[in-house]
Amino acid sequence: MIKEKEHNSSKAHFWKSVLIIAGVFSFALCILIIGNYFQINKADPVNTKVINTLVDRLNQNPGDQALINEIREFDLLARKAYFTNQWQIRFGGYLLLFGVIVMLISVLMMDSTKKKVQAITFVKDDKLPTTQRNSRKWITIGGIALAVITLIFAFLSHNELGNKFSQKESSESKLNKNDSLMVDSNNIQNSDTLKINSDSSNLDTVITVGLIEFPTAAMMSNFPSFRGPGGNGIAYQKNIPTSWDGASGKNIKWKTAIPLPGYNSPVVWGDKVFLTGANGTKQEVYCFSKSSGKILWTADVSGIQGSPSTAPKVTDDTGYSAPTVTTDGEKVYAVFATGDIIALDMTGNKVWARNIGIPVNHYGHSSSLLLYENKLIVQYDQNNGAKVMALSTQSGKTIWSTLRKVKISWASPVIVNTGSRVEILLIAEPYVASYDPATGKELWKIDCTSGEVGPSVAYANGIVFALNEYAKLAAIQIGDQPKILWENNDYLSDVPSPVATDKYLFVVTSYGEVACYNPKTGDKYWNHDFGTGTYSSPMLVGEKIYLMDKKGTMHIFKADKTFSSVGDPKLGENTVSTPAFADGKIFVRAGNNLYCIGK
């Protein structure tokens, strides 16, 4: 027992000594680090008196090489001293940490030599009911105090922030709109003088707002945007070929390699075909000759203010240039996954460019652009602040911007003429909505979809058809009080969009099955499995549907009550883009090439 006592005593003595040594060591380090701290705080390595004097002398005698070398040496010394001090402080910190750890261990070891474990000297608690009563009392007091303080703060700082932001946003939009109208009125004045020179079509478009002409004749004679004029899946073209063969070259007019990758589709105006490509470091717009396939010009889209220095992350199956360009025959407009948007004239010169904010989109932005009169319509359904915008085609300024309470969407806008007005139709979880292209005002909306929406809507005869994979297919009777006419979930799609006529609705699934419905009742006329998946959207051309599958086979069938195949010509290259149709030709982006198919 005595031996054990002695042992414990010597052990305690030892750890006490260790504690004192570690304590003194740590204390000394504290002093040193404090000293170093003040030293480093005082020193400014880029603004020393000596160097400043030498720099002044150098300014008087700029060619003095010896002086330059001397400045460099002093500068190096000052920086060295600074970084040495930094290192000393950090190393001192580690040593101090070590010292404190030793101190802690010493205390613990000293405690362990004590025979009895130390109890916590608690004051004997009140009896249970008293404790509970006290607890209830103080919780009530605490709760009331918290509520009162919160209310006082809420009252004092109540600012109607949400309303203020909304009002400010609309006033900013109005300002921009006025700017834009000023631009347009300038344009009208300029056009007045040009009118003498005959071409006043653009002027007419500006001043005849209200006379519904959509799509315009010029749009219908070309192929100005993704899924044709208005993006509704209809090409107003004739004499489109129904047979070709990529392997033998039959009816392949030309094939041109596209420099950069992209999942966007070609658009055609006059003798030009447009595409874009991007790879995360470069963004380009290409103009091809419709007749020869030669690249007429390439526009590099860079140096735009606000463009991110590093491209946002996108998935491989979306890429950096999924949105298709649009054109009005005067300018071509393109948008990329970086939020960069550009307007180029028909010779490839930049008219305006801006960044509309980096889209917060985990796959990458893919919604294509559309035009209505002098407005470029952008569906920007991103994670924070989904919206639809109209930018001035002249200046790029925002004419209107309407907030949308929807999730991210990859669908593209569709603009249709309902007979009484023109409407922009958008789809994203949870609803399909219509907007006035002149003001951006929401005309109607109806909840009918969910999930990550990829397919755009189709429209015919006053009915909008909306669908998405794992959701449903809904036929919506449009109007200020829209209603769902019928629903079905047998055939759905996550990428290809449907297409509709007055008599038929065609739905294409991503795995390659096509179903034809009665658009008014939802009765299915037929379904046919092509066996190969498709991401390309079907196009109605005359009385036929053209549907390109992923392996490059075009399935052509009649838009009829029964399935009737016209042909399945093969191109021989994989594709996910939707073809363009113009002037008796088909333009297909497949692999890394742009093909022209024609007789």
Enter the tokens of residue 590.
């497949």
Check binding of 309 to another protein (CB under 8 A): no
3-state helix, strand, coil in the chain (%, to 5): 30, 30, 40
> At its nearest, how many Å lie between another protein and the CB of residue 367?
16
User: CA 333 from chain center: how many Å?
Assistant: 17
Q: Which stretch binds another protein (CB under 8 A): 98-106, 272-280, 320-328, 558-566?
A: 98-106
Burial class of residue 596, CB neighbours in 10 A (0-12, 13-18, 19+): buried
Q: What is the DSSP code (8-state) at residue 229?
A: G
Q: Are 292 and 254 in contact (CB under 8 A)?
A: yes
Nearer to another protein, 304 or 514 (CB): 304
Identified binder of another protein from the candidate list 8, 11, 21, 40, rule CB under 8 A: 40
Q: Are 478 and 465 in contact (CB under 8 A)?
A: no
Identified binder of another protein from the candidate list 331, 354, 365, 375, rule CB under 8 A: 354
Residues in 435-474 at the binding interface with another protein, rule: CB under 8 A: 452
Q: Are 510 and 491 in contact (CB under 8 A)?
A: no
> At its nearest, how many Å lie between another protein and the CB of residue 527?
32
Check binding of 304 to another protein (CB under 8 A): yes
In angstroms, the CA 244 to CA 250 distance is: 5
In angstroms, the CA 474 to CA 449 distance is: 8
Q: Which stretch binds another protein (CB under 8 A): 37-45, 218-226, 253-261, 514-522?
A: 37-45
Three-state DSSP at 107 gives helix
Considering Cα of 486, then 489, then 493, then 494, what sign does the dihedral take? Answer: positive
Identified binder of another protein from the candidate list 164, 195, 294, 561, rule CB under 8 A: 164
Q: Are 524 and 541 in contact (CB under 8 A)?
A: no
Check binding of 181 to another protein (CB under 8 A): no
Q: Are 402 and 388 in contact (CB under 8 A)?
A: yes
Check binding of 311 to another protein (CB under 8 A): no
Nearer to another protein, 104 or 212 (CB): 104
> At its nearest, how many Å lie between another protein and the CB of residue 167?
9
CA atoms within 13 A on the CB side of 182: 8
> At its nearest, how many Å lie between another protein and the CB of residue 333?
17
Residues in 104-163 at the binding interface with another protein, rule: CB under 8 A: 104, 107, 110, 117, 119-123, 125-129, 131-132, 134-140, 142-143, 147, 150-151, 153-155, 157-159, 161-162
Residues in 365-424 at the binding interface with another protein, rule: CB under 8 A: 383-385, 387, 398, 401, 403, 405, 407-408
Residue burial 425-444, b: 16+ Cβ < 10 Å; e: rest: bbbbbbbbbbbbbbebebbb
The terminus-to-terminus CA distance of the chain in angstroms comes to: 112
Q: Which of 460, 463, 470 is nearest to 446 (CA)?
A: 463
Nearer to another protein, 190 or 383 (CB): 383
Residue spans of beta strands (DSSP E) within 80-146: none
Identified binder of another protein from the candidate list 84, 166, 521, 565, rule CB under 8 A: 166
Nearer to another protein, 225 or 398 (CB): 398
Binding mask 62-81 for another protein (x = CB under 8 A): -------------x---x--
Check binding of 545 to another protein (CB under 8 A): no
Three-state DSSP at 141 gives helix
**With CB under 8 A, what is the number of residues at the site for another protein?**
98
Check binding of 103 to another protein (CB under 8 A): yes
Nearer to another protein, 314 or 539 (CB): 314
> At its nearest, how many Å lie between another protein and the CB of residue 173?
5
> At its nearest, how many Å lie between another protein and the CB of residue 244?
42
Check binding of 35 to another protein (CB under 8 A): no
Element (H, E) at 452: none
Q: Are 118 and 72 in contact (CB under 8 A)?
A: no
> At its nearest, how many Å lie between another protein and the CB of residue 117?
5
Residues in 331-350 at the binding interface with another protein, rule: CB under 8 A: 339
